Structure 1
């Protein structure tokens, strides 16, 4: 299942736009996400398609950058074949580690990072190793309306929000990946063009900038308790139509605004491309078809390395509280995926589940509890990468249950081809799997809506819990907040988006935030669809950000790297 290249930056998506359905004559744009292709009264003005605003295509993620960046600009479109075992070397699925990995340390790590006219030398201790997924650090002072049951997010007295800040989309001569956004107690951080910038979470003032020699390729989804994360990036800015390879990995101190170290993994006479990066406890793990490694997140010390002479290789890792490898093993007759829970510090295999032969790719949805998604037999048919979910016991490696999720009934997307830990619209918590249903017609023939449903990870059966989006809205799981599920509601053209907290037991929805229905803030929100942008919600604030920049085009109107909303109480 390949991913085609994105549309040229100076051309809007074929079905983008946001606004009421268009007149019957060919309009400048087709109806936007969640709208049917049907004529509407001519008095409705045509709206411009927004950057990052997806069309209703079989695979809305086909326009997304891969871990290498954008296909068609010197990036590989398919994973290369794994290294074959050398004569006399054993095969099999066991992990062999080799701590004699040759590490190429970038000379740039010795250069002090100039930030806002000053130099940051702040240090950060490792802490207790606990961590939150991106955007999950809730709490803080809220409004007077109380607290939603089981979570840290406050219910404000007034849920109406305003735009807190907007960051313009950076200019680029080519399509450039800007994946990566994180939130800590002190900072909201976002990748730009060959840089990561930290912003004040409330007013968006720049706190620091970490310059990188080349564009970001992939960003870890997780942040340690003391604000550390990791990215992979190119060693220098590529020429148009080419790539320098995603060979560099770095740890970033988000609170201090500092690059802690930069490393690469050497294979013979070259540094290999790194498809995936994650953080688990105090370990940074990178993997690819050509090899990988694990580093201490604070020091950059090599902890372990999968041995490249095996007939198996680690395609990538899922992080968080635990570390899980998707390991591909092959012989002359078959290929098989091994889902391994491993010790982050030693690389030792704790448990292993072998998926059925013929499943080519898998994505790690959650490591604790362990849930893996796969498109079995390419049966999804919509490019979503998901036909089934596998609930696996971390301790024993035994399959708890398998959940069928046919694409004509359920939404959500995973990219297990190059990004093992990339799933959107799917959340795990309370030993439940929360997924959106596919869209359906609302009460008006031109409106769309859907629901979120829950599956029990022990039995594989639906729990009967359903959260309705409301007419004209579509609802998308974002993250857990204690025992509650945080979800974003994509609005109809004449309303603002909402963030709601869904109680884990009753599934009662509590509104936490509602965005403006008109004005610049509304326009900015419509350009950041939940299936084409990064969405974080923390302490009553909603952050929406773009995943790539491109050459400026005046026909697209104002475009933003970040749009943030908050209630102000």
Structure 2
């Protein structure tokens, strides 16, 4: 099994060390990749994604069912964690591989996509509860989930036979014509609506989907559309030929569009704040000339990542709520693990290593090489907090020697992070930006298992006191057994 696509928020030195190594066929949850879990039982407060407490609705306020979910976690009764669910794929033939996009979780179900199927697995007994089989492979997914457990996907409405004629394998979305959008309930597996996308079908590398404020947004090359999340009614569409096209959208608490104008060899990029229900542009920020690529790290507060003079991201730019430049953060000397680099994809919500709150932004520095003889107690790396108003670093959270630490997401006004460990269980921790203190949340993974090693990073969902790790592409090399472990989850034993 391989874990792709390319690395995001994880340790770059670890990934480099793994290059050239034969990819294992079992999902090794481990020491170096085991990700944060479980925060607790008790009352849960939900609000729009990415915010700190001051910008969030009060915990007592009941959010709209179609608002985008962001769970505020609590410390579990005990940090010791255990396996809560697994998903094993048994349908791959020798030498076959397939994309495995999509990972979503609620308090009842963890859902995982592979090829043209999404399966829902109970977190109570690890049994498969439901299955959605699409006609063709999944092309694009969104990580966003509504408060009442809905999410959206783009898929190919053409079956394997037609996909094969167009150069596809029937399982692979790369060559499949992506022409349909669907919304489903993660708890029940019920498909709530399914629509044909307007215009000509596009390849998977050209499609984009996200969600915000009761609206599903799609962009497919020359066409962008807003749908009502509940009914599937088309609220607006932009199908007019133009020199400027919507590359994609970033959703969550707000909605930003990445617009590209002009020749692809000398593009001009713009960021637009979009009204989700009407498609109206509320403001436009023109990115400086000479920029070769742009990604969106956060829709609200707006933060973008730009690549100046090359395809690698060099700067983060924070914008005001009116679309004016607020501050810049230079990513000097390739020092940070930001996850914003990516080519040949219309995915704009790509900066998985950048966690954005209302007032601060968080990134990890790249891990230092570690050995007991040379490190002498030096921290493996730091999680750095940057002030969005000034772009200056304002606080560092030092990792432990030999245990690099990386931020995952906001949980209220705190940052959830995980620590990798080669010779001890990995850990989930809570970082308090105000006090600078760290609190242990979960210990998980078994360092005594010889199969645990560093692989390309899996997809990760951290929800309702549980952590789920899953492959984004699976393969079965010749000679391997039929059981391909695709996903595993942990929760606190307390």
Q: Same fold (TM over 0.5)?
A: yes
Structure 2: runs of 5+ lacking an equivalent: 8-12, 30-62, 170-174
Q: Give the aligned partner of residue 236 of structure 2.
A: 304
Q: Give the aligned partner of residue 404 of structure 1.
A: 330
Alignment of 1:319-334 (within 5 A): 319-330=251-262
**Which residue of 178, 190, 195 maps to 1:258?**
190
Q: Give the aligned partner of residue 151 of structure 2.
A: 229
* Mapped contact 2:417–2:428 kept (Cα < 8 A): yes
Q: Give the aligned partner of residue 202 of structure 2.
A: 272
Per-residue deviation at 1:127?
4.0
**Which residue of 105, 121, 143 maps to 1:183?**
105
Deviation digits for residues 359-416 of structure 1 (CA, Å, limit 9, x no counterpart):
2321111111111112221174xxxxx211110123x110111111135211121236
Per-residue deviation at 1:455?
0.7
Per-residue deviation at 1:12?
12
Matched, 1:364 2:296: yes
Give the whole-Å Cα distance in 1 for the aligned partners of 2:264 and 2:440. 55
Give the whole-Å Cα distance in 2 for the aligned partners of 1:166 and 1:332. 43
Structure 1: runs of 5+ lacking an equivalent: 1-8, 16-30, 38-45, 55-125, 139-151, 381-385
Per-residue deviation at 1:296?
1.1
Q: Helix, strand or coil: the match of 1:222?
A: coil
Per-residue deviation at 1:518?
3.6
Q: Provide the TM-score with structure 1 as the length reference.
A: 0.70
Q: Helix, strand or coil: the match of 2:283?
A: strand
| Change in 2 beyond 3 A, CA 1:232/1:334 | same
Q: Give the aligned partner of residue 19 of structure 1.
A: none
**Which residue of 433, 453, 459 maps to 2:384?**
453
Give the whole-Å Cα distance in 2 for the aligned partners of 1:459 and 1:209. 48
* Mapped contact 2:360–2:387 kept (Cα < 8 A): yes
* Mapped contact 2:2–2:25 kept (Cα < 8 A): no
Aligned residues, how many? 435
Matched, 1:433 2:361: yes
Give the whole-Å Cα distance in 2 for the aligned partners of 1:216 and 1:440. 38
Q: Give the aligned partner of residue 532 of structure 1.
A: 457
Alignment of 1:148-547 (within 5 A): 152-156=73-77, 158-173=78-93, 174-235=96-157, 236-237=159-160, 238-239=163-164, 241-242=168-169, 243-267=175-199, 270-273=200-203, 275-330=207-262, 335-378=267-310, 380=312, 386-394=313-321, 396-414=322-340, 415=342, 417-442=345-370, 444=372, 449-463=380-394, 465-492=395-422, 494-518=423-447, 523=451, 526=453, 532-547=457-472
* Mapped contact 1:473–1:489 kept (Cα < 8 A): yes
| Change in 2 beyond 3 A, CA 1:298/1:12 | closer
Give the whole-Å Cα distance in 1 for the aligned partners of 2:16 and 2:79. 24
Q: Give the aligned partner of residue 53 of structure 2.
A: none
| Change in 2 beyond 3 A, CA 1:34/1:500 | farther
Between Structure 1 and Structure 2, the one with more strand by share is 2
Q: Helix, strand or coil: the match of 2:416?
A: strand
Q: Provide the TM-score with structure 2 as the length reference.
A: 0.80
Q: Give the aligned partner of residue 491 of structure 2.
A: 566
Q: Helix, strand or coil: the match of 1:440?
A: coil
Q: Give the aligned partner of residue 100 of structure 1.
A: none
